[in-house]
Chains A and B, each alone.
Chain A
Amino acid sequence: MSSKRILMGNEAIAFGAMKAGVQIASGYPGTPSNEVMETIASHAKEYGIYAEWATNEKVALETAVGAAYSGANAIVTMKQVGLNVASDPLMSLSYIGVKGSLVILVSDDPGPHSSQTEQDTRVFGHFANIPVLDPSTPQEAYDMTLLAFELSHEMETPVILRTTTRVSHGCADVVIGDIFPVPRDIEGFVKDTRWAIFPKLTAQRHPLLEDLQLRLSDRFSEYFGDNSFNSVSKGSSRIGIAASGVSYLYAMEAIRALSGVFPVFKTATVYPFPEKAALEFLKGITDLIVVEELDPYMEEQFLQLAGKHHLNVNIYGKKNGCFPVSGEYDVDVVIDGINSSLEKGNTDIPGLSHSLPAINLKEVPSLPIRAPTLCAGCMHRTVFYAFKKAAGKLRSQKDIGSVFSGDIGCYTLGNARPLNMVDTCLCMGAGISIAAGLSHTQEYSSNGKAKQVAFIGDSTFFHSGIAAVVSAVYNNADITIAVLDNRTTAMTGHQPHPGIGITAVGSPAKIIDIAEVLKSCGVGLVRTIGADSLEGCIDAATEAMQFEGPSAVVFREKCIAISKGAGQYIVDEDKCTGCKLCISQLGCPAIFSITSGLPVIQDTCSGCGLCAQTCPSAAIILKEVLQ
């Protein structure tokens, strides 16, 4: 039996995995991949699945690898930059292979909307010799998840299921099959030399790995004709279009007015590239327009193929400037790209036209810039402001400057005006190590002394902060670590982590106390305080920054997005002098003013009281007090 439901692409993948009989699921949160694990975890008890959030993507992958070695069906989930963290086990795993099945869900983020990079996992799969499936819709994501588990088991290789934001975070009506409790029939781990990588084993396995790539390429070519993931449609012209993922849909919508003109090559099995089918397609055309987001991966495959077989085909894509090399595509981007290709190709096919907006956009009045910002009542704002104040004291009293290294999470938003508290940000866990690196340059600097401060969130601390702390202590880096412990993995949608005593499926777990970890690593000064008192935070920040050698403060307060506020503040207009420090210093989204008026606090105020503590005229008071 099957049923039709509205599912987000990520949910569809989770249902696909459960339909395929996944037994073990691990992952680390990262937008846009989160809902795959969240959906599996929420059904874990019902279907008897083991689901967990691991401390990072490398750990998650290795956990899933162990499960797959024993014959289990396993999935591991992460975002594209998470794959970088997991790349060490990944690169070795392709040689070793798996026994049960292992699907690696990796979500790419063209744009990017919520990421540090615009990397392309299709290329990563190519680099790692691991097959990559690239669905274009939530339905295809569901169907290809089933295929991924089958392929992984049959070929004894991990399989990457790669999505992009628009597949992961789009909803559609999806037909899914009934799901049953998972079988408990795996063989278990069988000792064998194949599981222990060693230079000799690598040398033996490498030719087999390369042979597998050829077999998979052939298999994927065979899919043309007998499954809907890969297809070739005929056209009246000799100008072909090749596309994969969501770009295929944009291309089809773009050429709708000229339907039947362009032959179209669509593949969802992008690596190993289905060369035989692609070659067949190339032989029937004179020009090829490649429509793909992120890297010119397919374009390079086609160029290579045309070169290898001396084919006289013009290929248009990113490499000759017809399509943008970065950013997300949509129908309008693809129309421009196809038109640019048609023009370059000097064809007699008319260009495609855009639909004209109803309103002359030049007449729209200027709009406010609305950058993402920390929530009203977010504890991070108090901590950032406290460090700003403490740094001011350090500068005025001791002529010591401060550098603030940030990290990945909600608190990256501390970079926005007026806080301006993120001087560096690179990747998960980098803040502490970068601060250490900066501190070691102190004696080479001719520009005076600067204290190095690293901000790191609770989940990021467990992800990759601890190794950096150990190294900083070992090498006596003069840094202050500010742990922004809001008791959740906030930015990605509030997943639990090892510090809060609850697992992915809601079971109780041992709490790993961050302050105790810092102490056991040998950090000289470790304080834990709440973030409700600005003065208390300034004192703690000052003490830590004036400490010589590694010091740390754990600021602990519940994330305001998932907790009840403490009331609402209001501006007492009789007392307010209109200095607007509450606005110019804090940037809280609950407070605004128009140029001529006094500050106004909106309904979104959650009562953290930071503005009240900042106001020099005591003009911000709790609503109940005024009434």
Chain B
Amino acid sequence: MSFPILSVMLAIPALAAIGCLFLSPSGARWLALVATLADFVLGVALWASFDIGGPQWQFVENAGSIGVFSWKLGIDGFALMLIMLSVFLMPICIGASWVAIEKRVQEYMAAFLVTEVLMIGTFAAQDLLLFYIFFEAGLIPMYLIIGIWGGANRIYASYKFFLYTLLGSLLMLVAMLWMIQYAGTTDIPTLLQTDFPVHAQTWLWLAFFASFAVKMPMWPVHTWLPDAHVQAPTAGSVILAGVLLKLGGYGFLRFLVPMFPEASAQFTWLILGLSAVAVIYASLVALVQSDMKKLIAYSSVAHMAIVTIGLFAFNRLGIEGAMIVMLSHGLVSGALFLCVGVIYDRLHTREIDRYGGLAINMPRYALLFLFFTMASIGLPGTSGFVGEFLSLGGTYQVSTTITLLCTTGIILGAAYMLYLYRRVVFGDLTKDDVRAMPDLSLREIALLAPIAAVVLWMGVYPESFLAPMRSDVGTLVARVARAKPAGDSLPKAGTGIVPAAHAEAHK
């Protein structure tokens, strides 16, 4: 067996988390930063040595099993990209908490490091129960981060977060146990090949859906997200939007669609319908928010709906688009939460109306915030466009109506983001405390600039990100091909004869 890089990536933050508890606050900060950077470097090595077009599962490690449970890790292209997202955002989160967190710093850093372990573990697990443990345990540190280091109403927010996720988790556990009974294995690659009976798929699908839809979050089980974001500290929001929300999408991609293709096809319209509602509903709600974090939280709901429609288009365009939306949203909304954090640290309010005219005294901030605003709107040249475009393009082949409804998101998205930007950054500088706010510090630039660079890279040359996933998308598309519904827009062959002038279109 070669170098167990995945286990090492799990071990480093795990050990650092224990170490943090025994250090001084500043020692804990530095240890956390070094550990997360080390994981990032390993992540880059992982990506560099990933064999594109090679076997589906790479870097496989199997440390043997106890009972039905086994420590088995391994990644495919989807997991690789999401692990990259996690290890990229983690050092940024530590940096964002550098001065903003003052109480119980050691435990805070430990909580973040544990989150990192669990996120990487979730994406790398090849054993169903191992996955479940990472997946569910991942919520505990997040839950504590909101509950301990959060805002004034943090208890309600963490409580809501807990309640929402609990029910889904229990249902999913039961479904998993049934699957293990039926298939006689917990090995995920084997389960991916297993054809579950169609009638059972429906129930299994619904149980998994209950869990993943909440994480996503899909309308109408999204209301925990705005509260959680509003109450979470800045870095908590970044990791929540950047990585935790991707657990839902990953769950759809890894389990729901390939394991239950018939049920997925059967529920396609449920997903497409809920997503279309989510885009319009969440965008309109975002339009009327007066709290910056809530606005971005609702925009997340709208963006994640673009992920679900892409996935349930069951074609290459849609699935690749969905993955790019996930990666892009992780970066862009993470960066937007950082942007909010920057001014929150200075004025200690998230009220949009308290700001205005920041372009005058914070020009660097205005530029970066504008860039991420445009990326969120999906301007071509940024990552947001590539994802949205592919995802909606894939959906068009299934349903033009759903595509039309979801594409209104590009209008509404522009409206709420530009309205936000205008109120915060444009206008005249009339308030003295706002005027006194200094521009970005070097630390803040060091947090935002790398994200901007990656967003631009993904927007101009997405091939780097699409290539590792290409063969996995092919596998997934082939898996669901037998069940996927026909599109409503398929063209019929033409006659090649231009109809007479002013012919009726309705024929």
Say whether A associates with B.
no
List residues of B whose CB falls within 8 A of some A CB: none
